[in-house]
C-alpha cells in the first residue's frame, strides 16, 4: 500500500513537472461544470492573464475566449464527442493582441472522474510565415503571368515584324528589278524635265500623287523617283498592279486576310497596305480597280485604317499613296465607272508623263542606252546606230511608248550581226506619225496596231514570239487592253 502511494506520488510529480515545463498552453477543466481547475505557466505567459484569472472560471468568462456562444457550443460538442480540434482559433491576449492558436481538447478519466485537458499551441508566427509564403507565391504567379503576357505580346510583335520583313524583302526584290529596269530615267526633253521638277517638289511631303500617262511611258519610274526623294526612302516602295490581279484577289492583296477568311485561305496573309506601313504604296493602273473596292480604298486614304478580310479588328497604317493610270479618270468618273470622291482624293497633285512621240529628242539617248544594255547582256559588240534607224524610230508614233521602244531595240540587238545597229525587215512595224488630217483617235490607232501585231503572230499573246513581247508589254496588260478595245480572235471570239 505504501509503495503504491509512493508510485502515485512520483507519477504526480513527473506529471506536474511536464505540465509546468510544457511549451504548449494547457488547461484542465472539470468535465461536468466546465470550470478551469488548472492552467500551466506557458499559457499564463502567452495570454498575459494571471493564474488566478483562470482558476474557477469557464472559458467564456475569460477575456481571451470572448465569443461566449462559440465557447459554449465547443464545450457541448466536447462533452458529446470527447474530442474537439480547431486548427486556427483566434485568441486575444490581456493587452489586446490577437494571436492564432491550434486548440485540441480531450476528455479522459483521472481518479475515476472525467476531466478535460485543453492543449493550446501558439501558431501566430507559423501562420504569418505561411501567409507571407502564400502572398509571395501569389505575387510570383502574378509576375509570371504578367511576364508571360509581355512575352506573348513581344512574340506576336516579332512574328508580325518577321512577316512584314519577309514580305518587304519579297516585294523589295521585285521592285529592284522594276526600279533598275532602265537603270535611270533617260532624257533631256523639256516635258521630262517638267515632270521631274514636279516630282522633286512633291516628294518631301506625304501628299497623294496621281501620275497620268499612256501605257509604257514610265509612270512607275516617276513613282519610284518620288519615293526615293522622300523621307520614306529607307523602306522599299511597295507596288501593286491593279490591272494584273483578278478582281476576286485584289481585296486580299491590298488589305490582307485572316486564316479561313474564304475557301482556300489556309494561312494568314498581310496585305500591301500593312507591308507598306511607314513607306510608299504605288497603286499601278488604279483605273482598273473594281468599283466595290474603291470605297474601302477611299477610307484608307482618308483615315489610314482598314480591316483585313475575315477580321473585324481595325488596322492603322501610315502609308503614302502614289497612283498611276493610263485612263482619263475624270471622264471615267463622269460615266460612273470610277468613284468621283476617290478621284478627287487622288487628284491632289497630278503629274502627267508625256508620251514618247512628244519626246522625240529623247529617243536617240534611249536607243543608245538600250542598245548598250542588251549588247552587254547578249555578249554583242554594238558600236553605233544607223542614222536612218534613229530617224525611223523618231518618226514612229509609239503607242507602246518606252516599253515598246525597249522591246524593238532588244530584238534588233539579237538579230544584229555586226557592230552597227539597224532594224531588220522582220521588224518593219513602224508607221509615220499621223498628220492633223488623220481623224483616227489614239484609241483606234492603238487598236489597229495591236490587231496588226496579233495577225502577224497568229494571235499568239505570250512566249518568245508572242504579241506581248513584240509590243514590249506584259501579257496581262495586253489582255486588259484587248478587252477594253473589244479585240477578239475571229475564229474563237476569244483573245487567246
Q: Are residues 199 and 106 in the same domain?
A: no
Per the CB < 8 A criterion, the answer to whether 350 and 212 are in contact is yes
Select from 318, 338, 354 the last residue of a domain: 354
pLDDT-derived band at 97, boundaries 50, 70, 90: confident
The verdict on residue 387 lying in a domain is yes
Rounded Cα gap, residues 477 and 404, in angstroms? 13
Whether residue 65 is predicted with pLDDT greater than 70 in this model: the reply is no
Last residue of a domain, one of 325, 354, 383: 354
State whether 204 and 305 are in the same domain: yes
Q: Say whether both 337 and 368 belong to one domain.
A: no
- At residue 183 the predicted structure's pLDDT band, cuts being 50, 70 and 90, is very low
The SS3 assignment for 108 reads strand
176, 220: one domain:
yes
- Does the pLDDT value for residue 31 go beyond 70? yes
> pLDDT over 70 for what percent of the chain?
82
pTM of the complete model beyond 0.75: no
Last residue of a domain, one of 89, 122, 155: 122
Residue of 496 and 111 predicted with greater confidence: 111
Q: Which set of grid coordinates corresponds to residue 279?
A: 513607306
Sequence-ordered alpha helix ranges (H) in 22-123? 41-47, 51-54, 68-81
Give the model's confidence band at 58: pLDDT under 50 very low, under 70 low, under 90 confident, else very high: confident
In-domain check, residue 151 = no
Whether 181 has a pLDDT exceeding 70, the answer reads no
Identify whether residues 276 and 240 lie together within a single domain. yes
Q: Please tell me the distance from the alpha carbon of residue 307 to that of residue 296, in angstroms, as a whole number.
A: 9
280: helix, coil or strand?
Answer: strand
Share of the chain above pLDDT 90, in %: 20
pLDDT at 321 over 70: yes
Say if residue 214 is in the same domain as residue 285: yes
**What would the mean pLDDT of 191-201 be, rounded to a whole number?**
91
Q: Does residue 140 belong to any structural domain of this protein?
A: no
**What's the total number of domains in the chain?**
3
399 belongs to a structural domain: yes
Where residue 203 sits, what CATH number does that domain have? 3.40.50.300
pLDDT of residue 73: 72
Q: Is residue 150 part of a domain?
A: no
Domain containing residue 390: CATH number: 1.10.8.60
- Claim to verify: residue 183 and residue 251 sit in the same structural domain: yes
**Is the domain of 329 the same as that of 366?**
no
Contacts of 62 (CB under 8 A, 6+ apart): 49, 53, 54
Q: Identify the domain containing residue 64 by its residue range.
A: 2-122
**Cα separations in angstroms, 23 against 26, 48, 337, 434:** 9, 15, 97, 120
Confidence of residue 265 (pLDDT cuts 50, 70, 90): low
* Cβ 322 vs Cβ 239: under 8 Å: no
Burial of 388 (0-12, 13-18, 19+ CB in 10 A): exposed
Residue 337 and residue 441 share a domain: no
Task: Assess if residue 141 is contained within a domain.
Answer: no
Residue 441 banded pLDDT, cuts 50, 70, 90: low
CA distance 362 to 392: 14
**Considering the domain boundaries, does residue 156 fall inside one?**
no
Contact between 114 and 32 (Cβ < 8 Å): yes
| pLDDT greater at residue 45 or residue 3 | 45
Buried b (16+ CB within 10 A) or exposed e, 416-431: beeeebbbeeeeebee
Residues 8 and 110 in one domain: yes
Residues 341-350: tens digit of each pLDDT:
999 999 999 9
Give yes or no: residues 332 and 196 share one domain.
yes
Residue 496 has pLDDT above 60, yes or no: no
Which one has a higher pLDDT value, 489 or 140? 140
Residue 130 lies in a domain: no
What whole-number distance in Å separates Cα of residue 179 and Cα of residue 173?
Answer: 10
Asked whether residue 84 falls in the same domain as residue 203, the answer is: no
CATH number at residue 63: 3.30.450.20
pLDDT of residue 465: 76
Beta-bridge partner residues of 323: 210, 283
Q: Is the pLDDT of residue 485 over 80?
A: yes
What is the pLDDT, as a whole number, of residue 284? 92
Mean pLDDT confidence for 72-95:
77
Amino acid at each position: 500500500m505504501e509503495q503504491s502511494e509512493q508510485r502515485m506520488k512520483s507519477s504526480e510529480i513527473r506529471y506536474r513537472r511536464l505540465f509546468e515545463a510544457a511549451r504548449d498552453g494547457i488547461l484542465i477543466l472539470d468535465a461536468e461544470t466546465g470550470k478551469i481547475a488548472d492552467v500551466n505557466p506557458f499559457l499564463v505567459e502567452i495570454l498575459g492573464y494571471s493564474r488566478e484569472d483562470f482558476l474557477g472560471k469557464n472559458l467564456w468568462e475569460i477575456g481571451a475566449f470572448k465569443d461566449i456562444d462559440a465557447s459554449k457550443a465547443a464545450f457541448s460538442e466536447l462533452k458529446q464527442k470527447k474530442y474537439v480540434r480547431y486548427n486556427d482559433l483566434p485568441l486575444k491576449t490581456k493587452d489586446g493582441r490577437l494571436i492564432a492558436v491550434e486548440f485540441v481538447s480531450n476528455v479522459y478519466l483521472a481518479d475515476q472522474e472525467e476531466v478535460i485537458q485543453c492543449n493550446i499551441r501558439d501558431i501566430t508566427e507559423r501562420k504569418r510565415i505561411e501567409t507571407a509564403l502564400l502572398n509571395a507565391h501569389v505575387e510570383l504567379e502574378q509576375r509570371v503571368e504578367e511576364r508571360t503576357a509581355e512575352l506573348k505580346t513581344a512574340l506576336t510583335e516579332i512574328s508580325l515584324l518577321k512577316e512584314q520583313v519577309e514580305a518587304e524583302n519579297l516585294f523589295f526584290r521585285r521592285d529592284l528589278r522594276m526600279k533598275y529596269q532602265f537603270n535611270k530615267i533617260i532624257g533631256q526633253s523639256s516635258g521630262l524635265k517638267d515632270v521631274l521638277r514636279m516630282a522633286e517638289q512633291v516628294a518631301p511631303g506625304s501628299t497623294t500623287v496621281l501620275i497620268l500617262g499612256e501605257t509604257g511611258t514610265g509612270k512607275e519610274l516617276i513613282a519610284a523617283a518620288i519615293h526615293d526623294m522622300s523621307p520614306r526612302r529607307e523602306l522599299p516602295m511597295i507596288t501593286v498592279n491593279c490591272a494584273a490581279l483578278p478582281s476576286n484577289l485584289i481585296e486580299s492583296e491590298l488589305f490582307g486576310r485572316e486564316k479561313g477568311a474564304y475557301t482556300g485561305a489556309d494561312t494568314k496573309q498581310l496585305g500591301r497596305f500593312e507591308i507598306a506601313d511607314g513607306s510608299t504604296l504605288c497603286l499601278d493602273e488604279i483605273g482598273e480597280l473594281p468599283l466595290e473596292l474603291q470605297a474601302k480604298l477611299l477610307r484608307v486614304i482618308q483615315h489610314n485604317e482598314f480591316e483585313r478580310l475575315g477580321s473585324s479588328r481595325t488596322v492603322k497604317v501610315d502609308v503614302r499613296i502614289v497612283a498611276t493610270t493610263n485612263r482619263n479618270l475624270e471622264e471615267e468618273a463622269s460615266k460612273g465607272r470610277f468613284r468621283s470622291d476617290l478621284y478627287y482624293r487622288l487628284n491632289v497633285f497630278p503629274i502627267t508623263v508625256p508620251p514618247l512621240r512628244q519626246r522625240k529628242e529623247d529617243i536617240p539617248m534611249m536607243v543608245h542606252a538600250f542598245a548598250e544594255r542588251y549588247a552587254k547582256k547578249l555578249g554583242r559588240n554594238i558600236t553605233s546606230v544607223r542614222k536612218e534607224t534613229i530617224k525611223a524610230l523618231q518618226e514612229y508614233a509609239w503607242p507602246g511608248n518606252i516599253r515598246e521602244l525597249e522591246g524593238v531595240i532588244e530584238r534588233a540587238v539579237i538579230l544584229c550581226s555586226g557592230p552597227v545597229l539597224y532594224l531588220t525587215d522582220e521588224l518593219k512595224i513602224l508607221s509615220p506619225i499621223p498628220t492633223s488630217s488623220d481623224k483616227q483617235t489614239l484609241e483606234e490607232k492603238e487598236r489597229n496596231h495591236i490587231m496588226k501585231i496579233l495577225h502577224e503572230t497568229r494571235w499568239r499573246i505570250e512566249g518568245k514570239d508572242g504579241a506581248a513581247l513584240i509590243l514590249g508589254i506584259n501579257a496581262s496588260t495586253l489582255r486588259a487592253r484587248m478587252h477594253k478595245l473589244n479585240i477578239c480572235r475571229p475564229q474563237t471570239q476569244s483573245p487567246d
